[in-house]
Structure 1
Amino acid sequence: MSDARTKGRNAPTGPSPFRVEAEALPEAKFSDPVRTAKGELRASVPMTKLETLWFNTGTLCNLACATCYIESSPTNDALVFISRDHVAAYLDEIAATGLPTSEIGYTGGEPFMNPEFVAMLTDTLERDFDALVLSNAMKPMRRHEAALLDLKERFGGKLTIRVSLDHHTQAGHEGERGPRSWDAAINGLKWLSDNGFSIAVAGRLLPGETMEQARSGYAELFTAHNIRIDAHDPARMVLFPEMDETKDIAEITTECWSILGQSPADIMCATSRMVVHRKGEAAPRVAACTLIPYDAGFDMGATLAEASRDVSLNHPHCARFCVLGGASCSA
């Protein structure tokens, strides 16, 4: 993560999340889906099975975080609110085609700002999917406390809410999310913990910070606030790698799998897709990845069947976040 305290905090006005990278990287990199700038065969990832289907509920958010991957903010509606009916149509496709999807993830923006979100979340749980909701646990979520308590009572641990807490210190968190965001997030997380929800936290590594240092810091924080999360459990304390968009990054070739000791099956897009509804489009589309909703090269089609094809790793995020960073948005 780049140092948020050195960045401007003006809310974005449109979908331009990769402009910094586009200016900083050599022009020929990540331009050809088949070959790298050096002419080597670019790596791709085939879908093994669709385990997790994500829905972006819309880019509107109560915060304008300094390095938000898709520039969510109180004014950016580049991804409009997805509707309950559109979500239901994709869940119908899963049922009709027998896809092995067990988890439905919801991200934003802030999902609880979508006026139909609680209804679509209820539909998801009633269809016996596990539901993972990414939230900042602030006022938009707290407005739905009664509904959430009802869902927890009915479905228990099938509903997990993962709270974004960018650092285990107030300064680190508010450097990313802005002043007065810390107490509200901690209070929301503690409310979820005190009421017995299945919860997790997502954070980021600051420059120079090791994984063990970060986990120890979060463990101390959770103990101090009596929050029921094991900071050393990767499923419950998810730490994303530093994402400095101004730094150059290697392209991933087919030879990298053996060099790195990795398999394409280990990469997030082997088992997941995300549905987005871009402003100006008549209906939602399926994107290859939760991090790349705007790039036409990662638009996989209108249906899950169309979206089952291979994904060419033709974006800096593919290298920085997934292959070299080893991160995944799913549980």
Structure 2
Amino acid sequence: MLPVLLDPTKFQDALLTAKGEERAHVALRSLETLWFNTGTLCNLSCQNCYIESSPRNDRLAYLSAAEVRVYLDEIKRDGHGTKLIGFTGGEPFMNRELPAMLEDVLSRGLKAMVLTNAMKPMHRMKPALLGLLARYGRNLTVRVSVDHYDKTLHEKERGAHTWKPTIDGLVWLAQSGFDVHVAGRHFSDETDAQVRAGYARLFAALGIAIDAASPVSLVLFPEMDARVDVPEITTACWGILKKSPDSVMCASARMVVKRKGATQPAVVACTLLPYDPQFELGNTLAESVGAVRLNHPHCAKFCVLGGAACSQ
């Protein structure tokens, strides 16, 4: 059955839904997680990348370690109480300054997480990674994207010949003693329990100790397509869904990006919406503390209805 296309009258008004109801909004409870998009360039062109990363997409330029430092200093100066600094892309290991960024984060006593496909760009930085592991141990987490426990479905998304390099990287990280998590996707007809059982079999076969039953160690993201119809989230939905706005990602996180050609980075509301200008909140963390209106299909599909969060 073909999916129903999104009603074009939806997600047009930041304040009101297509039915004229008040659109839900989310206040920043506390800045627990700050993400840095290190740049949208990637060594892969996945079939359904959330932010269209590829070897040619440079819409988000490489961040520098100096630019990251400005935000880390702001966290300390303003007492944000941030616990985790995340690095995403693109492929973060394609940014040559990533090791310096990680050193800066970890030396401040903060935890760091890197999202990666664990392929060749990561392997080029093995010496730097091992040095960080020796100095900071499990304060550094590496989350590897393995879209499905089955090679065929993984390569359907990631492309031919991507399975073995990713699995090799995953095994190297685990055997080296890194804190390793895995990110998968719900794009099959299996239940959550079936998918987790499949990953458990994979991890056992590889001899790596990742708890597939843990929603932290194995994060399963819902599939998203902004063209497919989803309901708009109203203020009344919180009660109907028995869900708190505080559970949504933008209640506790922000992301820093640098647009191609920009003179300085900007802070956006969400890791999934780096291009939409309505989710750009300013150039500093202080400017980004306002409420976020859930005016995008991803807000409904991924965060509210899907219950996902990038920093789980």
Task: Mark yes or no: TM-score above 0.5.
Answer: yes
Question: SS of the counterpart of 1:293?
Answer: coil
Matched, 1:83 2:83: no
Matched, 1:317 2:267: no
Within the candidate set 56, 60, 63, 2:44 is matched to 63
Within the candidate set 55, 60, 67, 1:74 is matched to 55
CA distance in 2, matches of 1:311, 1:216: 36
Give the deviation of 1:91 after TM superposition: 0.3
Which sections of structure 1, spanning at least 5 residues, go unmatched? 4-20
Question: SS of the counterpart of 1:171?
Answer: helix
The answer to whether the 8 Å contact 2:6/2:226 transfers is no
The answer to whether the 8 Å contact 2:144/2:181 transfers is yes
The answer to whether the 8 Å contact 2:50/2:224 transfers is no
The superposition leaves residues 200-242 of structure 1 with CA deviations (integer Å, 9 ceiling, x where unpaired) of 0000012322100110000000000111201001110000113
Counterpart of 1:171?
152
Give the deviation of 1:75 after TM superposition: 0.9
What are the within-5 Å matches in structure 2 for residues 135-174 of structure 1? Answer: 135-174=116-155
CA distance in 2, matches of 1:99, 1:112: 27
Question: SS of the counterpart of 2:93?
Answer: helix
Give the deviation of 1:27 after TM superposition: 2.1
Counterpart of 2:271?
290
What are the within-5 Å matches in structure 2 for residues 300-311 of structure 1? Answer: 300-311=281-292
Within the candidate set 180, 191, 212, 1:199 is matched to 180
CA distance in 2, matches of 1:282, 1:202: 33
The answer to whether the 8 Å contact 1:78/1:279 transfers is yes
Counterpart of 2:239?
258
Give the deviation of 1:26 after TM superposition: 2.1
The answer to whether the 8 Å contact 1:50/1:101 transfers is yes
Within the candidate set 204, 208, 217, 1:236 is matched to 217
Counterpart of 2:9?
28
Counterpart of 2:111?
130
The answer to whether the 8 Å contact 2:181/2:210 transfers is yes
CA distance in 1, matches of 2:23, 2:225: 23
Counterpart of 1:220?
201
Give the deviation of 1:246 after TM superposition: 3.6
Which sections of structure 2, spanning at least 5 residues, go unmatched? none
Q: What amino acid does structure 2 have at the position aligned with 1:233?
A: S
Counterpart of 1:47?
28
Q: What amino acid does structure 2 have at the position aligned with 1:37?
A: A
Q: What amino acid does structure 1 have at the position aligned with 2:286?
A: A
CA distance in 1, matches of 2:175, 2:110: 24
Q: In percent, how many aligned pairs have the same letter?
A: 57
CA distance in 2, matches of 1:143, 1:226: 24
Question: SS of the counterpart of 2:31?
Answer: coil
The answer to whether the 8 Å contact 1:207/1:242 transfers is no
Counterpart of 1:13?
none
CA distance in 1, matches of 2:72, 2:187: 37
CA RMSD, 1 decimal: 1.4
After superposing on structure 2, the runs of 4+ consecutive aligned residues of structure 1 that deviate more than 6 Å are none
Question: SS of the counterpart of 2:153?
Answer: helix
CA distance in 2, matches of 1:261, 1:189: 37
Within the candidate set 81, 88, 109, 1:100 is matched to 81
The answer to whether the 8 Å contact 2:41/2:91 transfers is yes
Within the candidate set 243, 247, 250, 2:228 is matched to 247
